[in-house]
Amino acid sequence: RQGYEDPHCQYPSAGYRDFYAYQSHQWQQVAWQDDRDLGQGEPYAKSTNYQDQHYYRGYHPDLATTPLGQDRTQTYDSSEERYISAARPEWTGGKTLGSDMGEASGQPREPSLLLQYRESGLSSSSHELSQYIRDGADHYDPMLSGTWSLAQAGGHSVSTPAPVVPPKFSLLHMAVCFGAGGQLVVVCPHHPAEGQLAHVELHSLEVILHDTKELEELQAFPGPLAREDLHKVDVMTFCQQKIATSCDLSTQRGRDSSLLWKLLILLCRQNGSMVGSDAAELLMQDCRRREKYKRQNPAANLIGLTDDEWMSRQPGTLDLITGEVPPVVETQAQIVEKFTKLLYYGRKKDALVWAMRNHLWGHALFLSSKMDPRTYSWVLTGFTSTLATNDPLQTLFQLMSGRIPQASLCCGDATWGDWRPHLAVMLSNKVGDMELNHRAIVTMGDTLAGKGAVEAAHFCYLMADIPFGYFGVKADRMALLGSSHRQAFAQFARTEVIQRMEIFEYCQQLRQPKSFLLPFQVYKLLYASRLADYGLPAQALQYCEQIATTLLDQDPASHPVLAQQVMKLAERLKLSDTLLLEMPEQDQTLEPDWLVQLRACCREWEVR
């Protein structure tokens, strides 16, 4: 209206409504300026006020018009109170500020601004509007409510509103953290400064995660295995359970994994000692089926006969030597008699051919061994040619001949057959050259590893006494038993693999109590951290003690990073020691001796 100043027209344009800090300062400043400068003509932002007035008249006609008799500051304050009352119903215990003022003044209660927005069709999302209104309400200053007067401002002095720091979080939320004792600490969103009691909850991770597969896997393992109250029967029982639950015997990989667990059972039963025949027996027991290898007739060219000569020597033809027609079916006695008659006439070559053709290999080999070496090699080659290519006898004879068996280079292929009988015959029949045996077994392991049979390859490496290496060194053949260190670390260092490796170390300690696998200690630390993460701090501390004892027996300075990490984890878990419950209260602040010694070694290394 001309000549009348509407206080709502002093609001900034709609584009600035997103900045709640601008709203809280600018609106107060304009309202105060109108009251101070009533006779100074129109405000400075006339064009903007016209647009805002048009906006409010179009969407909120009840907010864009003001009765003539109503004071402008009261209109602004009442609208701001409704603005705040719509934003903080839950912050004042269900009772808004506007309702308190309305009850005190005796005026009827007006609908909230949020309800007016929804009825006007400005937004269909009450949650979105509540976010904006709450942001503006967070900076509401109750000292600015009510009618502003010159006396409150201290005469003619001009007061500048203090800058309001926006809150770090716009919504109430919980703060959580993980404790070293296997607990989850939850801090509830209370306001102690406003008289509310602080509320902190402690939850056991073991209880929270009790249905997870990972926690069940950790709880089923009887580790750490170096403790005095452990019996090896518990370890063997665990291995048998793993075979029954995690090995699919219908697949090749499942059978190879089962073989490793059975090897650990055998080592545990025999206190870590084993000979080649024990492993061979285990291999043959684990064979899925006994393959039958076909025998075949020796090739004609190997016994020095052409095809025509071979056919002329078949049964039913006239024998030019004896002048007799041999029977069609000859018995073993008749075959031997014919071999003897040929020798009567001094025909050693024909006797050898007859023996080889009728599979009298004993007669042929003995006769040729008394002749020249070339003839013996010829008969021996004829004998091996009758064996199938994948026959384990071929593997043995090739090994005894001083060669790497063909099975070591071709095993693992579906057309070749099972690799276990070939390894069994090599383990049970060690030849004089031990280096040749070692190379044949390692070559078989490399061939299996190249075809993805990691468990089978590691079994071969164990039989050849290949040492364990490290994850980052790809040239090493093994890092963890039954897991390839050429894959991602998360897949490589699985919980089951670490447990299997610890059982193997335990079997070594049954034979030599002071023995340990140094590359494996870092995986024990990783396993201890997993125990702590799943709410099992007491077991994690026992693993830290084992690792620290191993490092103290050696030189901790040779592995400084591992020693420091063990010390840091142990310091966080030291109050989880079950021995503290049995100590007097004045002694519960003491630390175990191994932790004190480990800390001293770490400090000494840092000084050096």
Confidence tier at 545 by pLDDT (50, 70, 90): very high
Average pLDDT over residues 261-288: 89
Q: Which has more confidence, 548 or 95? A: 548
Average pLDDT over residues 435-462: 95
Residue 173 has what pLDDT? 84
Q: Which has more confidence, 269 or 75? A: 269
Q: Which has more confidence, 59 or 554? A: 554
Average pLDDT over residues 414-434: 87
The DSSP string of 463-505 is HTTPPP--TT-TT-S-SBTTB-TTS-HHHHT-HHHHHHHHHHH
Confidence tier at 292 by pLDDT (50, 70, 90): low
User: Is 579 a residue whose pLDDT tops 90?
Assistant: no
Confidence tier at 607 by pLDDT (50, 70, 90): confident
Identity of the amino acid at 272: G
Confidence tier at 128 by pLDDT (50, 70, 90): very low
Residue 16 has what pLDDT? 42
Do the Cβ atoms of 516 and 524 come closer than 8 Å? no
In this structure, of 213-227, 467-481, 583-597, the range with the lowest mean pLDDT score is 583-597
* Most confident option among 287-296, 326-335, 426-435: 426-435
SS (HEC) of 9-57? HHCCCHHHCCCHHHHHHHHHHHHHHHHHCCCCCCCCCHHHHHHHHHHHH
Question: In the chain, how many H helices and how many E strands?
Answer: 28, 3
Do the Cβ atoms of 478 and 456 come closer than 8 Å? no
Q: Which residue has the tokens 């693999």?
A: 497
Confidence tier at 19 by pLDDT (50, 70, 90): very low
Residue 328 has what pLDDT? 56
Confidence tier at 70 by pLDDT (50, 70, 90): very low
User: Is 127 a residue whose pLDDT tops 80?
Assistant: no
Displacement of CA 83 from its chain's centroid (Å):
53
Average pLDDT over residues 547-565: 87
Query: Which residues have a Cβ under 8 Å from the Cβ of 59 and sit 6 or more positions away?
Result: 120, 122
Q: Which residue has the tokens 């069994």?
A: 424
User: Is 441 a residue whose pLDDT tops 60?
Assistant: yes
Q: Which has more confidence, 334 or 138? A: 334
User: Is 66 a residue whose pLDDT tops 60?
Assistant: no
Other C-beta atoms closer than 10 Å to the C-beta of 7 total 21
Residue 327 has what pLDDT? 57
- DSSP character at residue 223: -
- Is pTM beyond 0.75? Reply is no
Residue 317 has what pLDDT? 61
How far is it, in rounded angstroms, from Cα 185 to Cα 203? 7
SS (HEC) of 109-158? CCCCHHHHHHHHCCCCCHHHHHHHHHHHHCCCCHHHCCCCCCCCCCCCCC
Other C-beta atoms closer than 10 Å to the C-beta of 303 total 24
Residue 590 has what pLDDT? 75
CA atoms within 13 A on the CB side of 160: 2
Instruction: Work out whether the CA dihedral 184, 185, 189, 195 comes out positive or negative.
Output: positive
Mean pLDDT, the chain, rounded, equals: 75
In this structure, of 39-48, 77-86, 229-238, the range with the lowest mean pLDDT score is 39-48
Q: Which letter, b or e, does each residue of 566-598 get, where b requires 16 or more Cβ atoms within 10 Å of its Cβ?
A: bbebbebbbebbeeeeeeeeeeeeeebebbeeb
How far is it, in rounded angstroms, from Cα 236 to Cα 241? 9
In this structure, of 28-32, 245-249, 300-304, the range with the lowest mean pLDDT score is 28-32
In this structure, of 94-103, 380-389, 537-546, the range with the lowest mean pLDDT score is 94-103
User: Is 259 a residue whose pLDDT tops 90?
Assistant: yes
* Element housing 386 (H / E): none
- Measured CA to CA in angstroms, residue 399 lies from 128, 197, 392, 402, 434 at distances of 81, 82, 11, 5, 11
Residue 468 has what pLDDT? 94
Confidence tier at 145 by pLDDT (50, 70, 90): very low
How far is it, in rounded angstroms, from Cα 514 to Cα 562? 20
User: What are the φ and ψ backbone dihedral angles of 469, each rounded to 5 degrees?
Assistant: -115, -150
| Strand order across the 183-187 sheet | 175-179, 183-187, 200-204
User: Is 67 a residue whose pLDDT tops 50?
Assistant: no
Q: Which letter, b or e, does each residue of 453-487 get, where b requires 16 or more Cβ atoms within 10 Å of its Cβ?
A: bbbbbbbbbbbbebebbebeeeeebbbbbbbbbee
Task: For 468-505, write each residue's pLDDT tens digit.
Answer: 999 988 899 999 999 999 999 999 999 999 999 999 99
Residue 440 has what pLDDT? 95
Do the Cβ atoms of 96 and 89 come closer than 8 Å? yes
* Most confident option among 98-107, 123-132, 153-162, 536-545: 536-545
User: Is 548 a residue whose pLDDT tops 60?
Assistant: yes
Average pLDDT over residues 517-542: 93
Residue 51 has what pLDDT? 45
As a whole-number percent, the residues of the chain with pLDDT over 70 amount to 65
Residue 559 has what pLDDT? 86
User: What are the φ and ψ backbone dihedral angles of 141, each rounded to 5 degrees?
Assistant: -110, 115
How far is it, in rounded angstroms, from Cα 152 to Cα 438? 100
Average pLDDT over residues 411-418: 84
Rg (alpha carbons) of the chain, rounded to whole number: 46
